Amino acid sequence: MFSYILFDLDGTLTDPKEGITASVRHALKSFGIEEPDADKLTPFIGPPLRESFMKYYGFTPEQAEEAVGKYREYFSQKGKYENVIYPGIPELLRDLKAAGAHLAVASSKPTVFVEDILNYFGIRQYFEIVVGSELDGRRDRKEEVVREVLWQFARKGAANPSSVVMVGDRKYDIEGACAAGTHSVGVTYGYAQPGELQEAGAEILVRNVEGLRSVLLGSGQGAWQGAWRPDAEAARDPHACSGAVDGRNLYERYRQPGKGRPETKASRTGKAIGACALAMLTYFGVNLAAGTAVLLAGMLFYSVVPGGMSQSVYNYLLNLGNAAGVIAAFLVCFAVWRREVRLRPGVPTDGLSLVPMAVLAASLAAGLNGLLSLIELYRYSPTFREVSEMQFDTPLWLGILSFGILAPLGEEFVFRGVVYGRLKKVGGVPAAVVISGLLFGLFHGNLVQAVYATALGIVLAVVYEIYDSILAPMAFHAVANLFVYLVMDQLPFGGVFASLPACIFFLVLSAVSLVMMVKWQKSRT
């Protein structure tokens, strides 16, 4: 039996057809569109409304936003109650709760409506957590909803996502579960099109509430394990789970390689490692190619200019190429992986928790750099000395742009957004924090920066986890880089940071700031 169970609402716990289709008709009518056939509007059940209005009726984003407002005019007053709870659901929830399961609702519907519907049917008391979208359009993707539920469970001491199951009737539920790293059960009594749940990668399908009971309460546990990690006995018994639909096909697919085969832990880990390697190679390759192209173009230009090219000009072109390379690499990586990196804050944040984060960034950068200078680690890294000389010969504006702004954008998107995000799904938070930090250190290619970047990368992953938005480690990284570049490298008194008392002071300040940051940020949730 699974201890943490997430339920979709529409099409899984309740049948919302009458209320949703009536609300859609009300919205369409405001645009002069009549749609008497409710069956044509059932695709609106499940996905975000804005997407559906644009997809099925060709609305512009502005029209879709207006249509959502008209939809809610009807739904908030009447449509949400034109709903029917599926027979057997209250009893299933009661028995799951009695058996010790922790239940949650993860819906794309606005949270305020979800709460009203659950209270209307008298089942709200079974759920510890209820998460939906926001009325302003935030958190409307199912992946975002599932991750928010997991984050709230984590605050209560829940296990990692691999011990959680998401139950839903549409591909969005299954895809959201997959993106968040949880197990998934598809229910075919909802509104999925034929084959939709299989194509989305549902690990097991059930045709009715009794089948769902069999899987979630334990009598179908053997069948679940057969679908997730099948053995010979499970493969020979396609009817092990009562109520399972297409169970025979699922097991056949596992025996026969091909589309729809359920993933094993090893295959998921392999895919995660492959995605991490691809992201790092893409960032490095595009950066190198674009930077080299700018450098060569500049060298070609100066080769025909009277006086030729000095070392200073060469270093300038080298830094300009570095900036261009970072921009190009970031844009390419953003285009490929933007959907799996959390850009908008998923956790409430205010200025209070940002103050210790900024102090932590500056003090950690000062303490670590001072310590590395104090032990003279640079003596063992000629490459680092070359990099430092190039940075010293960079115009201030270009150094700020390149080291203080562009580098944090690109590196954080790849190493925290993609690499840490993928590793977290298969190995959990602690392993992902350490491994992503090590990879970030190795990426810098010299001993001094490897040691510094590994320690910084570990803290950056913690910051990403706490604030649940890539914007947080980007800002943290920018503050750390700018402090080192402007205060420690550019100002004449920068050498004072390389003393033992200064190192101790800044490292202690870092520890205090970390505690305060965590404390103040948690107070917001």
State phi, psi for 183 to the nearest 5 degrees.
Answer: -75, 170
| 319: amino acid identity, one letter | N
Domains of the chain in start order, with CATH, are 4-9+85-263 (3.40.50.1000), 17-81 (1.10.150.240), 267-522 (no CATH)
Give bridge partners of residue 84 from the DSSP assignment. Answer: 15
What does the pLDDT look like over 289-321, one tens digit per residue?
999 999 899 888 888 877 777 777 887 888 889
Task: Count how many Cα atoms sit within 13 Å of the Cα of residue 307 in the half-sphere of its side chain.
Answer: 3
Point out the least confidently predicted range of 10-24, 305-319, 370-384. Answer: 305-319
Q: Residue 85: beta bridge partners?
A: 14
Instruction: Give 430-451 pLDDT, tens digit per residue.
Output: 899 999 999 999 998 888 989 9
Whether 240 has a pLDDT exceeding 60, the answer reads no
Query: Sorting pLDDT into bands at 50, 70 and 90, what band is 510?
Result: very high
pLDDT > 80? residue 158:
no
Instruction: Tell me which of 238-247, 278-287, 423-432 is least confident.
Output: 238-247
Residue type, 152: Q
| The predicted structure's pLDDT at residue 425 | 72
Predicted local confidence at residue 237, as pLDDT: 34
pTM for the structure as a whole:
0.56
User: Residue 221 pLDDT more than 80?
Assistant: no
51-78 average pLDDT score: 87
pLDDT, position 351: 65
CA dist 304 and 190 (Å) reads 71
**What pLDDT was estimated at residue 522?**
65
Q: In this predicted model, which residue has the larger pLDDT, 94 or 467?
A: 94
Instruction: Give the closest residue to 419 by CA, choosing from 500, 341, 478, 315.
Output: 341
Band of residue 209 on the pLDDT scale cut at 50, 70, 90: very high
Contacts of 58 (CB under 8 A, 6+ apart): none
Find the mean pLDDT for residues 64-85: 86
Listed in sequence order, the residues at least 6 apart from 275 whose beta carbon sits closer than 8 Å to its beta carbon are 418, 422
Task: Using alpha carbons, list the distances in angstroms from residue 432 to 258, 351, 417, 418, 458.
Answer: 30, 28, 12, 11, 9
Nearest to 468 by CA among 154, 240, 19: 154
Largest CA distance in the chain: 87
The CA distance from 123 to 108, in Å, is 18
Mean pLDDT (the chain) is 81
Give tens-digit pLDDT for 451-509. Answer: 999 999 999 999 998 887 899 999 999 999 999 888 876 776 667 777 889 999 999 99
- Stretch 159-178: mean pLDDT, rounded? 84
Tokens 């027979």 sit on residue: 87
Rounded distance between C-alpha atoms, residue 399 and residue 388, angstroms = 12
Closest to 96 in 3D by CA, of 180, 212, 205, 208? 212
pLDDT confidence tier of residue 244, bands split at 50, 70 and 90 = very low
Q: How far is CA 499 from CA 91, 428, 482, 493, in A?
A: 68, 38, 20, 12
| Token pair for 429 | 């938070």
Range with the poorest average pLDDT among 253-262, 375-384, 416-425: 253-262
The question of whether 37 is a catalytic residue gets the answer: no
Q: How far is CA 129 from CA 126, 349, 371, 444, in A?
A: 9, 20, 45, 42
Task: Specify the higher pLDDT residue, 326 or 244.
Answer: 326
Interatomic CA distance for residues 355 and 350, integer angstroms: 9
Q: By the 8 A CB rule, do 48 and 56 touch?
A: no
Res. 390: pLDDT tops 80: no
Give 318-370 pLDDT, tens digit per residue: 888 989 999 999 999 999 988 778 776 645 566 667 889 999 999 999 999 88
What percentage of the chain reaches a pLDDT higher than 70? Answer: 83
Among 58, 61, 22, 63, which residue's Cα sits nearest to residue 42?
22
User: Which one of the listed residues 8, 15, 140, 468 is annotated catalytic?
Assistant: 8
State residue 256's pLDDT score. 31
**7: pLDDT strictly greater than 90:** yes
Task: Please tell me the least confidently modeled range out of 29-33, 39-43, 264-268, 370-374.
Answer: 264-268
Which of these ranges, 138-147, 276-285, 384-393, has the smallest mean pLDDT?
Answer: 384-393
The pLDDT, as a whole number, for residue 212 is: 92
